[in-house]
Amino acid sequence: MRKNLGSIPAVFPMPVLMVAAYDENGKVNVMNAAWGTMCDMDMIALFISEGHKTSKNIHTSRAFTVSLADREHMAVADYFGMVSGNRVPDKFEKSGCHAEKSAFVNAPVLTDFPVTMECELSQIIKTENFHAVIGKIKNVSADEKVLSENGKIDPLKLNALIFDQFRNGYYVSGEKAGQAYSEGKNI
């Protein structure tokens, strides 16, 4: 039997994304965003409020990075979601994280997180209902510890965090259940 739960955010899993950008003075700011997804092979869409400090910085710098949060950095990833850069100007410094300037875009690469997409601002879409930042991915950098023997990112080594909107929990991606574009061939 099914039970009606009303209107709730029910997409699972949601990524735990660290979105970083420089402000007008070259200072790093980072936010935790779960509402983001790929929208083309080299494009990412972030549905983030226009009022976030990071959103303002993206408008100014025209670039940003998106890092995948992992189990090892769960506490700092959560901190980036709990604390506003609008209220705590030294939020990044307090986190203890490290960043270096991207060689591809005018944005910081968070070196503590294992995978980072380095993006150039492509478009901002504002409607009555949402504010979307669309970025063109210029480069993806990854820590060698999360790469497989063939040089590709290994999801099992990544330990990527997944956000659970139902109970506000963090989970880690794990076991491979099947092979895409193969499992359905017998139907």
- Provide the percentage of residues in the chain whose pLDDT is more than 70: 100
Give me the pLDDT at residue 60, please.
Answer: 95
**Residue pointed to by tokens 């409020």:** 49
Give me the pLDDT at residue 177, please.
Answer: 87
Residue 152, Cβ density class (10 Å: 0-12 exposed, 13-18 middle, ≥19 buried): exposed
Q: In the structure encoding, which two tokens stand for residue 136, read together?
A: 């063109």
Q: Could you give the C-alpha distances from 177 to 2, 15, 64, 109, 163, in angstroms and in order? A: 26, 18, 33, 32, 19
**Class of 14-174 in CATH:** mainly beta
Q: In the structure encoding, which two tokens stand for residue 179, read together?
A: 């092979």
Give me the pLDDT at residue 44, please.
Answer: 98
Give me the mean pLDDT over the 69-80 stretch.
97
Alpha-carbon 140 to chain mean position = 12
Residue extents of the structural domains in the chain: 14-174
Sequence-distant (≥ 6) Cβ neighbours of residue 57 within 8 angstroms: 21, 22, 23, 24, 29, 64
Give me the pLDDT at residue 173, please.
Answer: 82
Give me the mean pLDDT over the 24-47 stretch.
95
Bigger pLDDT: 40 vs 174: 40
Give me the mean pLDDT over the 141-156 stretch.
96
The beta strand positions in 49-168, using DSSP E, are 63-68, 99-101, 108-110, 115-126, 131-142, 161-164
